[in-house]
């Protein structure tokens, strides 16, 4: 589904990504782990071109997103993203947050968009908060709404950028539960996370990034059970 | 028996003042001049506000988009030139340039004044709106883009509505300044509120009452604007409720 070929990214001369090559298949749940500053978030943000790569290619469903002539907006409709800071639209109700993009971009009629939003809100246990404003929600509720907002566009893949890092500890579980359900439903997911338990339990493949390169990748069993790379071993020793 | 004769008949310390007011404003229907002036002042202010907001928004968005769209650099350069020129030339001079050079064939000064004040206000609005756009968290633009909205779509439905909330008080500041600045519209032969007062003063030699009344009317308009601002801030503050 997504082919990443020799992906590079510089920020003002600093090499953050030094050539990453990997493949994300339909139905994959991939967790990206690694120390802070390793380039995890930059890698994820390059996948939907929120960061423009300095080199390499992102092939999404056959189209090269780094091609200047491509209609990025159209492709982004198929790539949902969830941010660490939620980034809900504070001036809109929850319902409006969920329906604005489908109605504007996919011309979904209002009643259908609302029905879909309510259905998904129900699945994350927030059907009664449709008329609330984001500031009236807890962090965990905000992030669940943010996940639903991305899902309302019916994406082919969901990108999660440290979705639980800004949450109070007691709210991490409710968000991870939603993500687990999503994975169980067969959604293709790429998750940058520090939640090793989630990575081990839910993902089918883990990428360990350090210093802008993939140092090791494999199944949770391989990564957590038999880490080969020394850096990965010391990283796991610190976080587990 | 009209109101002023009623007061006259009642005598007392105010009767002389009421006589004076009657002579100044009622005789020869001179108050009608004030009403016309008031109408024109409001017309010019609101017209200029509309033009200013439109120009200001367009200029601000162009300057914002140009930050990472090299193809818009030339447009941003024009916008900067516009802002510099407008801010660098006195409003009276700009008004005269519009009236005697750009629209030298215009028969009616009001549309000319509306355009002149609007173009002027647009430059200040542009910087205001840009500061509002910059005050909105960058994550908002990213969230919009990640859903597949274009930069312009995200700007319109996500960023600008939030920016306006930040800058609403400043916009009303600009509106109040604009209202008072229109008092120079008389330079292009238009009867605005100030000029109406001047005309009556010239006819009646009653400087105190004409100037005080004109000042009072401006003040009342500004107080009304302040109330409107308070109301709008409450309404726009909905998302802030906790």
Question: Over the stretch A146-158, which tens digit does the pLDDT of each residue have?
Answer: 999 999 999 999 9
- Give start and end residues of each alpha helix (H) in A32-157: 40-47, 72-76, 94-105, 110-123, 139-151
Strands A188-192 and A205-210 turn out to be: unpaired
Is B11 inside any structural domain?
no
**Residue with tokens 């929600």, as numbered in its chain:** A137
Instruction: Enumerate the residues of chain B whose CB falls inside 8 A of the CB of residue A79.
Output: 146
Query: A60 CB contacts (<8 Å, ≥6 apart)?
Result: A1, A2, A3, A47, A75, A78, A79
**How far does A49 lie from chain B, in Å, by closest CA?**
9
Share of chain B above pLDDT 90, in %: 74
Query: Per the CB < 8 Å rule, is A50 touching B140?
Result: no
How confident is the model over B160-181, as pLDDT tens digits?
Answer: 999 998 999 999 999 999 999 9
Q: Cα–Cα distance between B140 and B155 in angstroms, integer?
A: 9
Whether B26 is in a domain gets the answer: no
Closest CA to A120 of A80, A88, A153, A75: A153
pLDDT at B16: 86
When the pLDDT of each residue in chain A is averaged and rounded to a whole number, the result is 95
pLDDT of B239 above 70: no
Here the CATH number for the domain that contains residue B230 is 1.10.3720.10
**C-alpha–C-alpha distance, residues B228 and B231, integer Å:** 5
pLDDT for the residue numbered B242: 39
Q: Cα-Cα-Cα-Cα dihedral of A129, A81, A140, A224, to 10°?
A: 150
DSSP collapsed to 3 states, A155-218: CCEEEEECCCCCCCHHHHHHHHHHHHHHHHCCCEEEEECCCHHHHHHHCCEEEEEECCEEEEEE
Residue of B148, B153, B233 for testing the chain A interface, max A β-carbons within 10 Å: B148
How far is it, in rounded angstroms, from Cα B204 to Cα A240?
A: 91
CA distance A54 to A19: 10
pLDDT at B26: 87
Instruction: For Cα atoms A177, A183, A188, give the angle at the middle one, nearest 5 degrees.
Output: 140
pLDDT at B151: 93
Residues of B with a Cβ under 8 Å from any A Cβ are: 137, 139-140, 142-150, 153, 157-158, 161-162, 165, 236, 238-242
- What is the bridge-based pairing of β-strands A55-60 and A63-64? antiparallel
Q: Are the C-beta atoms of A191 and A35 separated by less than 8 Å?
A: no
- pLDDT tens per residue, range B14-32: 888 888 888 888 888 889 9
The DSSP string of B76-111 is HHHHHHHHHHHHHS-HHHHHHHIIIIITTT-S-HHH
pLDDT at residue B106, as a whole number: 85
Work out the average pLDDT over A55-80: 95
Does residue B90 belong to any structural domain of this protein? Answer: yes
pLDDT score for A13: 87
Contacts of A88 in chain B (CB under 8 A): 143
Percent of chain A with pLDDT over 70: 100
Residue B101 is assigned to a structural domain of this protein: yes
Check residue B11 and give its pLDDT: 62
Query: What are residue A52's phi and psi, to 5 degrees?
Result: -85, 120
Tell whether B14 is covered by a domain.
no
The pLDDT of residue B24: 84
- What chain A residue is nearest to B142 in terms of C-alpha separation? A50
Q: Which whole-number Å values give the CA distances from A100 to A27, A113, A143, B36, B156, in the listed order?
A: 27, 9, 17, 46, 12
Kindly determine whether residue B239 and residue A74, on different chains, have CB atoms separated by under 8 Å. no
Q: Which domain holds residue B77?
A: 33-241
Other CB atoms within a 10 A radius of the CB of residue B152 amount to 10
Distance between CA atoms of B131 and B166, rounded to whole angstroms?
A: 9
pLDDT of residue A90 exceeding 50, the answer is yes
Domain membership flag for residue B198 = yes
Interchain CB distance below 8 Å, A50 and B162: no
Rounded to an integer, what distance in angstroms lies between the CA atom of residue A109 and that of residue B195? 55
> Pairing mode, if any, of strands A29-33 and A188-192?
parallel
Q: What are the tens digits of pLDDT across the range B118-152?
A: 999 999 999 999 999 999 999 999 999 999 999 99
Q: How confident is the model at residue A17 (pLDDT cuts 50, 70, 90)?
A: very high
* Choice among A18-27, A92-101, B66-75 with the minimum mean pLDDT: B66-75
Distance CA A6, CA A234 (A): 26
The answer to whether A73 contacts B150, with C-beta atoms less than 8 Å apart, is yes
The dihedral formed by the CA atoms of A13, A19, A25 and A28, expressed in degrees to the nearest 10: -70
Q: How many domains does chain B have?
A: 1
Residue B18, domain member (yes or no): no
Residues of chain A in contact with residue B138, where contact means CB-CB under 8 angstroms, are none
Q: How far is CA B208 from CA B27, B205, B211, in A?
A: 17, 9, 6
Residue-level pLDDT at B236: 78
- The answer to whether the CB of B191 falls within 8 A of the CB of B41 is no
Q: What is the pTM of this model?
A: 0.86
Tell me if residue A68 falls in helix, strand or coil.
coil
Q: Is the Cβ pair A153, B241 closer than 8 Å?
A: no
Is B107 a residue whose pLDDT tops 90?
Answer: no
The answer to the question of residue B187 being in a domain is yes
């Amino acid at each position: 589904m997504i082919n990443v070929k020799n992906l590079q990214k510089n920020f003002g001369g600093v090499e953050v990504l030094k050539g990453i090559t990997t493949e994300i298949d339909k139905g994959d749940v991939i967790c990206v782990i690694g120390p802070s500053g390793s380039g995890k978030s930059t890698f994820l943000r390059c996948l939907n071109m929120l960061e423009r790569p300095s080199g390499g290619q992102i092939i999404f469903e056959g189209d090269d997103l780094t091609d200047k002539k491509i209609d990025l907006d159209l492709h982004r409709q198929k790539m949902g993203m969830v941010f660490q800071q939620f980034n809900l639209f504070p001036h809109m109700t929850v319902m409006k947050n969920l329906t604005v993009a489908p109605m504007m971009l996919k011309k979904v009629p209002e009643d259908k968009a609302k029905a879909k939003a309510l259905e998904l809100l129900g699945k994350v246990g927030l059907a009664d908060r449709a008329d609330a404003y984001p500031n009236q929600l807890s962090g965990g509720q905000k992030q669940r709404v943010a996940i639903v907002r991305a899902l309302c566009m019916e994406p082919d893949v969901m990108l999660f950028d440290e979705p639980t890092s800004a949450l109070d500890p007691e709210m991490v579980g409710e968000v991870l539960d939603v993500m687990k359900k999503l994975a169980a439903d067969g959604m293709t997911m790429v998750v940058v996370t520090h939640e090793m338990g989630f990575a081990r339990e839910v993902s089918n493949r883990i990428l360990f990034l350090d210093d802008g390169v993939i140092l090791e990748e494999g199944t949770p069993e391989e990564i957590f059970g038999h880490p080969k790379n020394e850096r990965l071993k010391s990283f796991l020793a610190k976080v587990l | 028996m009209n109101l002023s004769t009623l007061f006259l008949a009642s005598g007392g310390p105010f009767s002389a003042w009421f006589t004076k007011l009657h002579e100044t404003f009622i005789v020869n229907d001179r108050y009608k001049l004030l009403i016309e002036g008031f109408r024109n002042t409001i017309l010019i202010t609101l017209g200029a506000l509309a033009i200013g907001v439109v120009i200001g928004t367009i200029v601000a968005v162009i300057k914002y988009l140009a930050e990472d769209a090299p193809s818009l650099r030339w447009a941003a350069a024009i916008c900067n030139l516009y802002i510099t020129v407008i801010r660098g030339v006195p409003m009276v001079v700009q008004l005269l340039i519009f009236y005697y050079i750009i629209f030298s064939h215009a028969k009616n000064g009001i549309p000319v004044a509306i355009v002149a004040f609007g173009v002027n206000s647009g430059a200040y609005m542009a910087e205001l709106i840009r500061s509002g756009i910059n005050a909105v968290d960058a994550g908002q633009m990213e969230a919009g883009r990640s859903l597949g909205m274009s930069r312009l779509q995200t700007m319109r439905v996500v960023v600008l509505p939030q920016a306006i909330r930040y800058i609403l008080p400043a916009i009303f500041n600009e509106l109040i300044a604009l209202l008072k600045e229109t008092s120079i519209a008389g330079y292009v032969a238009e009867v605005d509120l100030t000029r109406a007062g001047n005309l009556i003063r010239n006819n009646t030699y009653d400087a105190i009452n004409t100037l005080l009344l004109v000042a009072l009317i401006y003040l009342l308009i500004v107080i009304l604007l302040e109330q409107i601002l308070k109301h709008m801030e409450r309404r726009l503050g909905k998302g802030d409720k906790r």
